[in-house]
Homo-oligomer: A and B are copies of this chain.
């Protein structure tokens, strides 16, 4: 460390200045800073990491990066981490347990300070064992019966709110299009919210139109089935989709079958993805407070306290559930 010599001080003092330790005289501080500047000194991360055990890097896994909800969330997480001085290494899992495990293993081998993951297939046992290895911020749901708290909104309540909105605007035959997940996975929670809102209005649920994954492609196909159901006399006048991704596909599938949205069928989604803001028609959806989710997750990954109270959300009412078609 030539900086020390240049400034005529000891290495210790230089470290103190760099780290921002308080007890350094102003004069010395300035001298050291100038020396650092003149020499173009940049601390070596590898050495810092080796010495302190902190790499300044967190790992993030999402099901899919280039798309919708997790893409936007990843943005926010990366930015929140950057604001706290950390870099973010990203990996995609495509939502399957084996891949999730493999990617997490790969990321952990890079020895980050913490991990943020939004598991779709992991068991609570998987999560447990990862939690023992590093700081973990989970995005998604609680895993029932464990001490594992995740960062999420109240999915059931939010789902119930959208469905109530559908009902309030006069829709009566409201179908839920979702997956076969079991609680506490988000799709099960959203279905539960749907069921409770439907039950509160004394209406029969329609839950037999399902998707095998949460892609627009699956939604497209499901939309076709909705249209077929209608064509064969089974009235449906609204659809609540488990995610916006699916909803966008459903709208497309309905359109292909000449079913009009929203005049024939209202469609609502969940997540408030960017695509839904420019789609035709614009998509009514639940908008979670993604910034808060990002903040909480980064905090957990960096070893923060990890509060557990639910994240806020709001309802974004747009064209796809309008009562009369938008001119």
Does A258 belong to the interface (CB within 8 Å)? Answer: yes
Chain A binding site: helix, strand, loop or mixed by DSSP? helix
Q: Considering the chains assembled together, what is the distance between the CA atoms of A68 and B273 in angstroms?
A: 12
Q: Name the residue of chain B whose CB is nearest to the CB of A277.
A: B216
Does A75 belong to the interface (CB within 8 Å)? Answer: yes
A68 partner, pick from B66, B89, B249, B279, beta carbons under 8 A? B66
Q: Considering the chains assembled together, what is the distance between the CA atoms of A231 and B249 in angstroms?
A: 32
Taking CB atoms, residues of chain B closer than 8 Å to A327 are 258
A65 partner, pick from B75, B106, B249, B258, beta carbons under 8 A? B75
Taking CB atoms, residues of chain B closer than 8 Å to A216 are 277-278
Q: Name the residue of chain B whose CB is nearest to the CB of A68.
A: B66
Please tell me how many copies of the chain the complex holds: 2
Q: What string of 1s and 0s marks CB contacts (under 8 Å) between A86-123 and chain B?
A: 01111110000000000000110111000000000000
A102 to chain B, nearest CB (A): 10
A274 partner, pick from B66, B88, B279, beta carbons under 8 A? B66
Taking CB atoms, residues of chain B closer than 8 Å to A161 are none
Q: Is the CB of B91 within 8 A of A89?
A: no
Q: Is the CB of B90 within 8 A of A88?
A: yes
Does A42 belong to the interface (CB within 8 Å)? Answer: yes
Q: Is the CB of B248 within 8 A of A278?
A: yes
Taking CB atoms, residues of chain B closer than 8 Å to A67 are 66, 71, 274
A92 partner, pick from B59, B78, B274, B277, beta carbons under 8 A? B78
Highest count of chain B CB atoms <10 Å: which of A67, A70, A73, A277: A67
State which residues 16-71 of A face B: CB under 8 Å.
Answer: 42, 44-47, 49-50, 53, 55-57, 59, 64-68, 70-71
Q: Is the CB of A278 within 8 A of B249?
A: yes
Q: Is the CB of A65 within 8 A of B45?
A: no
A218 to chain B, nearest CB (A): 11
Can you list 17 contacts pairing A with B, beta carbon distance less than 8 Å? A42-B109, A44-B111, A45-B55, A45-B109, A45-B110, A46-B55, A49-B49, A57-B57, A65-B65, A66-B67, A75-B92, A79-B92, A87-B107, A89-B89, A90-B90, A216-B277, A248-B278
